[in-house]
Structure 1
Amino acid sequence: MSKPFYITTAISYPNGRPHIGHAYEAIAADAIARFYRLSGRDVRLITGTDEHGLKMVQTAREAGVDTIKLADEMSSYFIEMCSKLNIGHDGFRRTSEPAHHEASKALWKAMEANGDLYLDRYEGWYSVRDEAFYAEDELETGEGGEKLSPQGTPVVWTAEETWFFKLSKYQDKLQTLYAEHPEFIEPESRRNEVMRFVEGGLRDLSVSRTSFDWGVPVPGSPGHIMYVWVDALTTYMTGVGYPDTEGMFAKYWPADLHLIGKDIVRFHAVYWPAFLMSAGLPLPKQVFGHGFLLNRGEKMSKSVGNVVDPMQLAEQFGVDQLRYFLLSDVVFGKDGTYSADAIVTKTNADLANNFGNLAQRSLSMIGKNCDGKVPAPGEPTAAEEELLAQLDQCFIDINAAMTGGLFKIDTALDTIRERLSATNTYFADQAPWALRKTDPARADTVLYYTAEAIRQLAIMLRWAIPESCDRMLDLLAQPADARDFEHLTTAIVPGVALPAPQGIFPRLDLPVSETEA
């Protein structure tokens, strides 16, 4: 039986429609999940929406609708995004679901039973936008002298009776975790930030609110609602059946990877493991904080007017073109930038020219000169042996990039792009169109090995751009059950009839607004 692999995205806050950052994270998580599925692993990918908290209440009030109505509408946009971008998740969890309420209460009771919750009065600074508490020494001063969170968001002074979690009790245990398992937080820059924060001393954390009633009620404490991050983080366990610790939970937990934005690493790498330690539950194996996506180098802002709808980009350029650009052009773990012209340039070069043109030319020659059937090859020469050796090394390299906890997605795709270029070079150097006149058998050999290279590269690229690679494998008449990494060791069968070749990657043009910019 294959070893399970459990991956989650952050649980998105749906007080607005999804933006390109949400799409990037979902696409990256989906790509990792697909890679491991193709490797033969039993993968579970969970995503969802974090619908509780004061911010949702305020947004609903401003819109003049019930909070649940806002949550229903906004979550539907995130579900639609996943569908549109071909995100193959195994469950979309909403924190408003009754099953999730029960999971959150079970975690609360477990922390309470361990003596880690107590009732007291909280007075301090709170950012509604971040749904986070901040100490005085963490605050910054705005241009107008106002106090701001480290994220630059407004804070308000809050005073109310709340339940506290004994976070300070877990400082030494957390520091031991980071020292003994440095892979717990990646990349290294995020790990260093978290370690500095914890070394500075941990204060007990306020984990309930009484100023609103939209959320999970605290068990046995009327009027108290759980702090949004307590129940949001619990979603990762709801996704595998908690509080039932048998069956699915026993199979998939602890999570192999929590993939999140760098701005919420503290919640996942400090609060979350402390909650789990308190509840006596296994800790996730890794928290990976990816970077931000910048629009032409600038952070997205509604006031600047540069917030981009990922659905519009997918419609404009193609789902796989958008997926490929985001996965290959952004160094995973660092901030990246995007623009319409960058998407067009990158995907035209790598997909339309490097991959699509090669497939179109070679398969058209097979269709015209080989009765539309995969030709029988002759003895391979040094050129074919070198081509096959490069393909073998390609898989070794991408496997190394995608495993071991670093998930070097862009490195893996660069490796595939290089092998595509090498296959193009092989095809051009061997010139089967010329060989057809002088040595037809040799031309058939070149066409056979070109088709075989395309088959292998389509399989190796399938985790990133699944729909396009499946269409490419359709053109090669490959069965649906012969498209995982295990079948890289097989070969395309001579004599197989191929359908008429079709273009998979049309060349993109810049929108008029971009060319005029």
Structure 2
Amino acid sequence: MHTLNRIILYRAKAETYIRVRKLNFVSVCERSKNLVNRRCSLENTSHNYRSAMSKASCPYFVTTPIFYVNAAPHIGHLYSVVLADAASIWQRLLGGSVLFSTGTDEHGLKIQQAAQKADMPSLEYCDKMSDKFKVLFNKAGIGYSDFIRTTETRHKEAVQEFWRILHGKGHIYKGVYQGWYSVSDEAFVTEEETKEISTAEGTKIRVTGESEQPVTWMEEKNYVFKLSDFKSELTRWLDRGVIQPQTFEGSVRNLLKDLPDLSVSRQRDRLSWGIPVPNDDTQTIYVWLDALVNYLTVAGYPHPGFTWPPNCHVVGKDILRFHAVYWPAFLIAADLEPPRKILCHSHWTVDGVKMSKSRGNVVDPMDRIEKYTSDAFRYFLLREGVPHSDGNYSDQHAVNYINSDIVNTLGNLLSRSTSLSVNPEQIFPRLNREMYMTCISAFDRETFENIEQLFNEVNENYSHYNFYKGIESIMSYLRWANGLVQEHKPWELAKSSSDIDQLHLKVVLYLVLETLRISGILLQPVIPNIACRLLNRLGIPTGKRLAEHSRKPYLNSPQNLKLGPNEGILFNKISEKKSS
């Protein structure tokens, strides 16, 4: 079988290894020497974990992280959301229902300090910052089902109920923590994970080795989760291949080699901006336990019939530890099934350099949406973004992709096949089989006949969040169709008075329009508005735009079908000046 030559840029695998952090806890109560035999085992998930809904009634449940509101949203935040949005659109095109959640994380010491610095009450500060994320996501056309804020009453109720279950099952004990704490990362770190650096003023300070954020020494009484009890269950869960891309799995397994217990509260006199520990008003629940429970909150927990488990958590590589170690351990402890997949993606650099305010190279996603439109910008993110390695953003690169793929390859092909000069009847013609065999080469016939299998390739890639591969597969067929136009010159055939030439023209138009139809259906998760305009122009009814319609020929009636209204150029070329 002939396959198209595809130009797919494969990037070197980026292995991310996170060193194991050892927390030094001094227990104030004697730990039992024997671990409790738990009911939950990952060997037979369906029998041992509490299932909220039957498999048939569960929607596809996809989430993004909830984003910290200490700063304005950036391109990395939008990338996470666009990945999840594209996946949710695809699941709907497959005929399923979807629960897609995103939101903002609004508790913790960092937020408390940021509000104080802004001279604003903490909730007022969170209201202002959370709105920035919601405005961006709405501007980007993100079709989330639920936007959760951790300051909501429903979330507080879910967190405190989850705490009561963990505590009631004996998985939390009172302890004393001594060690380093990173306010910026809202994380405890070991001595080995810190280093001393000199500031510009020559002062020596201790920072985290990874993010180089300042750390402070802490010694306080708090509650501790028995994380070390869950090593075997976490290992079995990982054995199911839940971490994607697989390149990130090694870093998670390294964390399990020495799994210390985890502090899950802070003294309330040090951290007041958070959810109080039930029945102990001297303690505040640790921000990461609080934040992770958001996935239960949007699922309807703790009420009966809540949607669980998530099909996929989309997360950045910097928070993989929390989602792939702490979170599944919390869930197993509560007799709930861990997530079925964690899609971990890498970060974005700018011209190969890490984004930072000091360098002045932080990409404002709202500004780029204004310049390029939401569809074009998300196209670039999904086309260029490769989950297993850092993406490189440049305005010139974005403009090149948009103009080359959307304007030239897709838009021009539509114009060349629907213009009055080559398609004066404004029809989507039927295929004349005899003329098809006569005037189309065996190579092109085989290529065209393979396009009905494009769904399988795209579905495989979209389902694994490799949108860049699915997009390239579609673009390769669109490039082939452009080549077909160049070879057969429909503008010349249209001028001919020969009946044979007219039949030849309609064969070419059919092949091109059918390629556009299938491509338009498959591009809906990537460029939903542009794809809708494309399908409208082709006259495709809204009820015939599901994924399954890309697997079979469109025309089954004996009549040619009329094209839809001409609404002008599909997408205007972006000028070089606009990108600067």
TM-score > 0.5 by shorter chain: yes
Measured in 2, the distance between the counterparts of 1:49 and 1:33 equals 19
Measured in 1, the distance between the counterparts of 2:579 and 2:549 equals 45
Quote the offset at 1:169 in angstroms.
1.5
Measured in 2, the distance between the counterparts of 1:378 and 1:173 equals 61
Measured in 2, the distance between the counterparts of 1:2 and 1:167 equals 33
* 1:511 aligned counterpart, secondary structure: helix
1:169 corresponds to 2:222: no
| Maintained 8 Å contact 2:101/2:148 | yes
Quote the offset at 1:513 in angstroms.
7.8
| Maintained 8 Å contact 2:224/2:261 | no
The aligned counterpart of 1:291 is 346
Quote the offset at 1:3 in angstroms.
6.2
Letter aligned with residue 157 of structure 1: W
Deviations, residues 63-104 of structure 1 (Å, cap 9, x unaligned): 000010011011111111111111111100000000000000
Give the TM-score normalised by structure 2.
0.84
Measured in 2, the distance between the counterparts of 1:305 and 1:369 equals 51
Picking from 533, 536, 541, the partner of 1:479 is 541
* 1:17 aligned counterpart, secondary structure: coil
* 2:293 aligned counterpart, secondary structure: helix
Measured in 2, the distance between the counterparts of 1:289 and 1:377 equals 45
* 1:390 aligned counterpart, secondary structure: helix
Quote the offset at 1:426 in angstroms.
1.8
Quote the offset at 1:501 in angstroms.
5.2
1:220 corresponds to 2:279: yes
Give the alignment of 1:86-101 within 5 angstroms: 86-101=141-156
| Maintained 8 Å contact 1:5/1:255 | yes
Per the alignment, do residues 239 and 33 of structure 1 end up closer, same or farther by CA in structure 2, a change over 3 Å counting? Answer: same
The aligned counterpart of 1:373 is 427
Measured in 2, the distance between the counterparts of 1:395 and 1:302 equals 42
Letter aligned with residue 429 of structure 2: P
Letter aligned with residue 424 of structure 2: C
Give the TM-score normalised by structure 1.
0.94
Measured in 1, the distance between the counterparts of 2:449 and 2:510 equals 16
Greater shift after overlay, 489-498 or 499-508?
489-498
Deviations, residues 200-230 of structure 1 (Å, cap 9, x unaligned): 3323334333212111111100121110001
1:491 corresponds to 2:557: no
| Maintained 8 Å contact 2:371/2:578 | no
Give the alignment of 1:229-244 within 5 angstroms: 229-244=288-303
* 2:144 aligned counterpart, secondary structure: coil
Quote the offset at 1:376 in angstroms.
4.1
The aligned counterpart of 2:22 is none
1:146 corresponds to 2:200: no
Measured in 2, the distance between the counterparts of 1:361 and 1:236 equals 48
The aligned counterpart of 1:350 is 405
Picking from 357, 367, 388, the partner of 1:302 is 357
Measured in 1, the distance between the counterparts of 2:157 and 2:183 equals 25
1:510 corresponds to 2:576: yes
Pair member with larger Rg: 2
Give the alignment of 1:77-226 within 5 angstroms: 77-144=132-199, 145-149=204-208, 150-178=210-238, 180-181=239-240, 183-210=241-268, 211-226=270-285
Measured in 1, the distance between the counterparts of 2:95 and 2:267 equals 45
| Superposition misfits of 4+ residues, deviation over 6 angstroms | none
Letter aligned with residue 96 of structure 1: T
| Maintained 8 Å contact 1:462/1:469 | yes
Measured in 2, the distance between the counterparts of 1:314 and 1:462 equals 18
Per the alignment, do residues 295 and 331 of structure 1 end up closer, same or farther by CA in structure 2, a change over 3 Å counting? Answer: same
The aligned counterpart of 1:466 is 528
Per the alignment, do residues 152 and 401 of structure 1 end up closer, same or farther by CA in structure 2, a change over 3 Å counting? Answer: same
Per the alignment, do residues 495 and 507 of structure 1 end up closer, same or farther by CA in structure 2, a change over 3 Å counting? Answer: same
Per the alignment, do residues 497 and 263 of structure 1 end up closer, same or farther by CA in structure 2, a change over 3 Å counting? Answer: closer
Per the alignment, do residues 204 and 52 of structure 1 end up closer, same or farther by CA in structure 2, a change over 3 Å counting? Answer: closer
1:449 corresponds to 2:503: no
| Maintained 8 Å contact 1:324/1:347 | yes
Per the alignment, do residues 513 and 451 of structure 1 end up closer, same or farther by CA in structure 2, a change over 3 Å counting? Answer: closer
Quote the offset at 1:49 in angstroms.
0.4
1:326 corresponds to 2:384: no
Greater shift after overlay, 376-385 or 496-505?
376-385
Picking from 80, 87, 110, the partner of 1:25 is 80
Structure 2: any 5+ residue segments left out of the alignment? 1-55
Measured in 1, the distance between the counterparts of 2:503 and 2:196 equals 76
Measured in 2, the distance between the counterparts of 1:196 and 1:495 equals 60
| Greater helix share, structure number | 1
Measured in 1, the distance between the counterparts of 2:152 and 2:332 equals 25
Greater shift after overlay, 372-381 or 305-314?
372-381
Quote the offset at 1:2 in angstroms.
7.5
* 1:506 aligned counterpart, secondary structure: coil
Count of residues in correspondence between the two structures: 505
Quote the offset at 1:167 in angstroms.
1.1
Letter aligned with residue 248 of structure 2: R
Measured in 2, the distance between the counterparts of 1:440 and 1:512 equals 42
Quote the offset at 1:41 in angstroms.
2.1
> Percent same amino acid at aligned positions?
35
Deviations, residues 335-370 of structure 1 (Å, cap 9, x unaligned): 10111100011111111110000001111147x643
Per the alignment, do residues 203 and 376 of structure 1 end up closer, same or farther by CA in structure 2, a change over 3 Å counting? Answer: closer
Measured in 2, the distance between the counterparts of 1:280 and 1:499 equals 56
Measured in 2, the distance between the counterparts of 1:341 and 1:413 equals 20
Picking from 460, 476, 481, the partner of 1:400 is 460
Greater shift after overlay, 311-320 or 504-513?
504-513
Greater shift after overlay, 444-453 or 275-284?
444-453
The aligned counterpart of 1:66 is 121
Measured in 2, the distance between the counterparts of 1:513 and 1:361 equals 27
Per the alignment, do residues 9 and 96 of structure 1 end up closer, same or farther by CA in structure 2, a change over 3 Å counting? Answer: same
Deviations, residues 284-304 of structure 1 (Å, cap 9, x unaligned): 111222000101111110111
Measured in 1, the distance between the counterparts of 2:563 and 2:342 equals 47
| Maintained 8 Å contact 1:387/1:423 | no
Letter aligned with residue 423 of structure 1: A
Measured in 1, the distance between the counterparts of 2:404 and 2:524 equals 18
Quote the offset at 1:158 in angstroms.
1.5
Letter aligned with residue 113 of structure 1: G
